[in-house]
Amino acid sequence: MIQRKYFGTDGVRGRVGEHPITPEFVLKLGWAAGKVLAGDEGGTVLIGKDTRISNYMFESCLEAGLIAAGLSIKLLGPMPTPGIAYLTRAFRAKAGIVISASHNPFYDNGIKFFSADGTKLADEVELQIEAMLDQPLTTVDSARLGKCVRQMDAAGRYIEFCKSSIPAATSLKSLKIVLDCAHGATYHVAPAVFRELGAEVIVIGDEPNGLNINEQAGSTHPEALQARVVAEQAHLGIAFDGDGDRVMMVDHEGRLVDGDELLYIIARDAKIHGRLQGGVVGTLMSNLGLELAFRELEIPFLRAKVGDRYVMEKLKEHGWLLGGESSGHIICLNANTTGDGIGSALQVLAAMVQSGATLKELAGGMSKCPQVLINVRLTPGAKPLEHERVKSAVREQEARLGDSGRVLLRPSGTEPLVRVMVEGSDAALVQDCAERIAEAVRAAL
């Protein structure tokens, strides 16, 4: 199998100023992608971004590279990743490009691509782009150079698309909601969506300054949202990540409702109303309680490797519509072609309104098994999963868990981390096993 040099599970990503996230490379990447995705045909490419400060620089670099390849550009400005996927289809563009490092800090950044149909690029297309990067950059004849315009109504178009993803008669006027936009790409879109559907909306994390994206905010840091929901006596809270493709929710008591529970709520509601086509795809990290809950509902459930691209592969393979990850990356193919935080939240709210149940009551239909996740930061070049000390620790803890638990170690696809996950029926045992394995990983570094 050919290894990709630059593309990971979610585009090209790294620390700003360090290869490959440099102005020179991103310019060449824009040119190479343009040559592969459009050839000599020309056409239009959309560019959207989250709110990190380096996006001004990388937007200009992509613009130059694409224009040199003979493509025109529509600049969308700050826009959630799923909004860029939708608009790529709506404008019949050759491709959509997102400048974002998702839930990572501001000093990281990345470039990810959508094909003309709003889906992430196939592996073979990414390999073609990598091969083109090895070619000298050439500029088309001046008469064929592309142009660049700013699409001023991009946010409004996506807002209307989100609202149309739930039944037209659905009103949120009975709900008081706290939104946490992570100082990211949803800051100007999400509040409008929920307000226009009738909800009373309180917003935090909506003051991006280029440096505060995901900083103690959003789906990866929901503590402020949990406290605010309780303080405001709101019905629920909704937290997005920096680029808006993930969502976590908080019930009226301040308890976090994660991606597994949200996936359960959406799937159960879809089955009740005859909208569930086939089964549901989770990942190796999905809680065992989710699998057991679907078994009780007689909903087929499959696990994919961690990463939304692998969830999508399974969905396409089986012709199913619904899948997701514990992190809140949920794919509803009947609504959008990629994970959509706002769209997924709306599916949950529609289920609440139609059933008359609270978020806590709906999530209560699934009993989560105790699960502990410990992230161990990697040093450059380290491969601790191959170390005998780590393998031995895993064997020992698996023996302690027996048939009532499982262990999963995997490198993150987006950060220099090893994720240690242990799951089982005994919370104290699960915690101890996870800590012992994490310590073995640290020692192996």
Which residues are part of the catalytic machinery? 102
- For residue 77, which of 163, 9, 192, 156 has the smallest C-alpha distance? 156
163: its two tokens? 């609202």
Q: Is residue 64 within 8 Å of residue 32, measured between CB atoms?
A: no
Question: Pairing mode, if any, of strands 280-283 and 322-324?
Answer: parallel
Residues in the chain: 445
Q: Among residues 400, 409, 406, 407, which one has the least CA distance to residue 429?
A: 400
Place of tokens 């699998």: 291
Residue with tokens 């009740």: 272
Q: How many helices (H) and strands (E) does the chain have?
A: 14, 18
User: Going by C-beta distance under 8 Å and a sequence separation of 6 or more, which residues neighbour residue 233?
Assistant: 176, 252
Q: How many other CB atoms are found less than 10 A from the CB of residue 441?
A: 24
Closest CA to 124 of 27, 26, 37: 37
66 with 102: CB under 8 angstroms? no
Residue 187 tokens read as 């800051």
d(CA 438, CA 238): 31
Give Rg (Cα) of the chain: 22
